[in-house]
Amino acid sequence: GTLLIGLSALVRATSPESLLDAAGTIYCDGKVRGSAVYISPPQEIADIADDVALVLTAAHTLFDLQSGQSYKVCEYRPQNKRLSGIAVSRVSQHGYRVTDTDRIAQAESDIAFLMLSYSPRQPALHLGQQSQLISGPLALLGYHAELGDMTASKHCQPQDSDQFPSTALLLHNCRAGAGTSGAPIVDLLSSQIVAIHGGALVFDRA
């Protein structure tokens, strides 16, 4: 019975390509800085404000990592369409700091909600529940800098580690690279966002 249920769930899994239309890029100070996703506002926000346009990304896409300063002008480009950029009107509070030497803490705070000046013409994805069991398959929907286009990863799974010191971060084996910072990681069985890709963490043997 368990095997059949598992196979049935896999058959119903959403294809990564069908979700890609909800993604886009963060464009700051003349250059694409990373990926983002248009989301349906959480209920607590929808209850107090109508027609709020929100995107979710990694907080570090808004900063010059060399100087540590935030970029001056940023916009969201739905599906990375150059002539469809929408100005970012407000950035949520976050704890990300470029200079933080605690890489785990830095990674845990590397997330930001961006309010747009108006709603993009694209579908929105929902945020997963905090208690949601993440067992895969997953997909990473983001900008591929080398190709200059939006791409959807395939055959992704969450990864376990008994020695990893954080319960707030999701380890995964989705193919990622330049431009995918801020990309949503989606549970294909629920079509909901379960994480935002921040980057690679490098550990020494100690």
pLDDT value at position 16?
Answer: 84
Q: Write the DSSP assignment of 52-92 as a string of letters.
A: --EEEE-GGGGB-TTT-PBPS-EEEEETT-GGG-EEEEEE-
For the ranges 4-13, 96-105, 124-133, the lowest mean pLDDT is seen at 4-13
Mean pLDDT of 146-167: 84
| Rounded (10°) CA dihedral 163, 166, 167, 169 | -110
Are 141 and 203 contacting, i.e. CB atoms less than 8 angstroms apart?
A: no
Instruction: Please give the Cα distance from 74 to 114 (Å, whole number).
Output: 10
For the ranges 18-22, 33-37, 169-173, the lowest mean pLDDT is seen at 169-173
Residue percentage of the chain with pLDDT more than 70: 87
pLDDT value at position 48?
Answer: 61
- Please determine, for residue 1, whether its predicted confidence score (pLDDT) is greater than 50: no
Residue percentage of the chain with pLDDT more than 90: 50
Specify the higher pLDDT residue, 124 or 133.
Answer: 124
pLDDT tier, 8 (very low <50, low <70, confident <90, very high otherwise): very low
Which pLDDT tens digit goes with each residue over 45-89?
Answer: 666 666 789 999 999 999 998 898 999 999 999 999 988 999 999
Which tokens hold the place of 96? 């990300």
pLDDT tier, 7 (very low <50, low <70, confident <90, very high otherwise): very low
Q: Tokens 């990694």 — which residue?
A: 58
Average pLDDT over the chain reads 85
